[in-house]
Amino acid sequence: MRKLFVLLFFILIFGLAYFSGILNFSKPIVEYKGLNSLGSEGIIDVNVKDEKPGLNSVEVFLKQGNQIVKIYSTNLDGKKEEEIKIKVNPKSYGFLEGKGSIIVEATDKSLLKNKAILEKEINFDFTPPTISIVNYTQNMINGGTGFVFFQSNEELKDANVNVGEVNFKCLKINQTYICPFSIPYYFDSVKPIILNVSDYAGNDIKQGLGINIKWITYAKSILDIDDNFIENKVKPLSDKNFNNPVDLFRYVNVEIRKRNEDLIHKKSSECKNLKPMFEGEFIYLENSAKLGGFADYRKYRYNGQIIEGADAYHKGFDFASVKNANVKASNNGEVVFAGFLGIYGNSVIIDHGLCVYTLYSHLSQINVKEGQKVVKGQLIGKTGATGLAVGDHLHYGVLVNGIEVNPVEWFDIKWLNTRFYDTYKTIGGEK
């Protein structure tokens, strides 16, 4: 009887140890998520996990030939999962360019101290990419668009044009990278314009672009609003109640505007269609007069007083023609938004490829759907006064990489030829 009791006791202890994970026969799981090359500022990205009883320790080594160096060690004290990112310079440990490996050892907290070992072969690469600029826009206006065409001796992980703190992504077409960019309209002075590229080992190179900038002073204006405008235009757009009409207008023109423009910027920075679909110059509303200008800085006045904190830039052109005039696609592309957009009213956004988008707002009618392909001159809607609009008109905008740019350049075939089409043809670019 005593032997049976002892046996049952040990079975119970074993069961408790097993089900708690203290006695566990499985090894931790180790996954390497980093790049296959490490440069002078490489990142090692590792995920380790162990459900029972949890992780005890993780060690990371670099290896080349007979040389092994421990570069990381941590105690995880039973954590179930951990993602480890290590910034490392293999060159500082004496490693040479060429083949090497990363070794990750993960141990669990069980009595058996189960250990998983992952060895991942990688390449140590300390040489930055070499780039050759084919052409770039050398004369620009603030608020205008430019292009950089360049080639690289290796495949790049990232390529951007940095204008001050604003980044514009580059896209690869054939063997050439094309970078559409802008000098943002809201800049008040010239900022450095730098081409910044990095390879898959984390090596990067920067090259400044010498661009002549003709600085334009955009218009400033004061617009008067009245109770009729507040009641019939502003109030329907608010999702909050305000007793004070000034507070209501400020909320709609700042907070609601920001939400609407965040969506516009999100849609126009996705850049899903890499190759340009546009051909020739862009067209605008036929037989129309241009009213509001691009980058006009507007203040608003109510009952003779400026509404503080409600200023806004006008980020496109306003075109007015006859009531319910036909609005046509400015160029070939794909509709990425078609619907109501707050202060912009009924709106359509078209992706023309190469991170170039056009916006059509305040429409009374929309004739296209999201995902629909359109051709230049195709009817997409009719002008109206929806949203925060006074009178029937079209608000028209052009965006590059999610930033509004001056549309006037895109109507000019000579400008498009000299800045884009001529060079695009030389690299074998097609639609």
Identity of the amino acid at 192: P
* Predicted confidence pLDDT, tens digits, the chain (431 residues): 555 444 444 444 444 444 445 557 799 999 999 889 999 888 999 999 999 899 999 999 999 999 999 999 999 999 999 999 999 999 999 999 999 999 999 999 998 899 999 999 999 999 999 999 999 999 999 999 999 999 999 999 999 999 999 999 999 998 999 999 999 999 999 899 999 999 989 899 999 999 999 999 999 999 999 999 999 999 999 999 999 999 999 999 999 999 999 999 999 999 999 999 999 999 999 999 888 899 999 999 999 999 999 999 999 999 999 999 999 999 999 999 999 999 999 999 999 999 999 999 999 999 999 999 999 999 999 999 999 998 999 999 999 999 999 999 999 999 999 999 999 999 887 65
| Tokens found for residue 260 | 């609407």
363/256 Cα distance (integer angstroms): 19
Phi, psi (deg, nearest 5) at residue 200: -75, -5
- Cβ neighbour number for residue 104 with a 10 Å cutoff: 23
The pLDDT tens digits for 15-26 are: 444 444 555 779
CATH fold of 21-124 reads Immunoglobulin-like (2.60.40)
**CATH architecture of structural domain 131-214:** Sandwich (2.60)
293/317 Cα distance (integer angstroms): 5
Pairing label, strands 312-314, 317-320? unpaired
Where exactly does CATH 2.70.70.10 map onto the chain? Answer: 220-400
Residue 3's pLDDT is what?
A: 52
Buried b (16+ CB within 10 A) or exposed e, 43-56: ebebebbbebbbbb
| Tokens found for residue 62 | 């670099």
Q: Give the H/E segment covering residue 367.
A: none
DSSP class of residue 393 equals: B
Pairing label, strands 176-182, 67-75? unpaired
- Cβ neighbour number for residue 414 with a 10 Å cutoff: 8
What angle (nearest 5°) sits at the alpha carbon of residue 304, between those of residues 299 and 307? 35
Identity of the amino acid at 356: V
Where exactly does CATH 2.60.40.10 map onto the chain? Answer: 131-214
CATH fold of 220-400 reads Glucose Permease (Domain IIA) (2.70.70)
Residue 399's pLDDT is what?
A: 98
What angle (nearest 5°) sits at the alpha carbon of residue 15, between those of residues 14 and 16? 95
Residue 305's pLDDT is what?
A: 96
